[in-house]
Copies of this chain bind each other. A is one copy, B any other.
Amino acid sequence: MKKVPLLAADWAPIVVLVRPQLAENIGMAARAMMNCGLTELRLVGPREPHLSDKAVAASSGAQAVLENARVFDSLPQALADVRLVLATTARRRDMTKPVHTPSKAVKLLRAAADRHQKAAVLFGAERTGLENDEIVSANGIIEIPLNPKHRSLNLSQAVLIVGYEWFKSRRTADASHLETGGSPPAAHAETEAFLGCLEEALAARGYFRWPDKEARMKRNLRNIFMRPALTSAEIRTLHAVVKKLTS
């Protein structure tokens, strides 16, 4: 097959498929991306290879998206250079996060693109969706409005809805954005590094004293610091705060 040229880089959001099960669904997601002018695909622990015949056939001409896709072992690796992360979910979670409709979410994504800041949208595995530990890494949630009695959506269809809203938003004026006073939003890896330091300092002082609650406590902490979409300068401030408090 001939390589299809991708669109020029326009800081369109990266699509991250987390633990996708079927090659065919990866291909169909690539097709939906291409329909909507999205070209950067990242895969976290896919079960089947994304360049298999089944995936390529299902991509229906969007092979270039598959060929340029990158595979990662873990979600933090896939998000290391990303500054705005939104997670798609079909159902409500017991978690404190801003929840956006797709049409509102693309305004945030568009604002990030206008500032040349990488943004990503996470899609979970076909049957199970994203796990809470994965959602917690996001700055916000995208909930697709659907018939509450029949929410089950094919993976590529979820990608299509978000992509369609993205494409639709291409001509609209600038949405509200976060004024950051010169400092860019922190890269995901910066926020991760701070959370690592904080957890370490807390662990050393016996904060996680109930082993069965440790995961949940860490999730709550992570949620507090992921939600505000901290800037690089703010991450430096927080490092200094923890260092000072533990001095």
Contact = CB atoms under 8 A, between A and B. Distances in A.
Given A246-B245, A247-B205, A96 B179 contact: yes
A141 to B, nearest CB: 7
Interface string A152-176: 1110110011001001100100011
Nearest to A65: B150
Given A150-B4, A152-B60, A164-B161, A96 B178 contact: yes
A180 interface: yes
A190 interface: no
B147 A167 contact: yes
A7 to B, nearest CB: 7
A28 to B, nearest CB: 7
Interface stretch (A44-52, A69-77, A117-125, A225-233): A225-233
A103 B181 contact: no
A93 interface: yes
B168 A103 contact: yes
Q: Chain A, interface size: which category?
A: 35 or more
A35 B153 contact: yes
Interface in A169-220: 171, 175-183, 198, 201-202, 205-207, 217, 220
Contact of A160 (B157, B198, B247): B157
Contacts of A7: 147, 149
| Nearest 3 CB-CB pairings of A with B | A104-B175, A94-B181, A227-B228
Given A35-B146, A94-B181, A141-B179, 5 more contacts: A36-B147, A95-B181, A101-B171, A145-B167, A156-B157
10 contacts: A31-B154, A35-B150, A92-B179, A93-B181, A98-B178, A98-B179, A144-B164, A157-B160, A161-B164, A207-B241
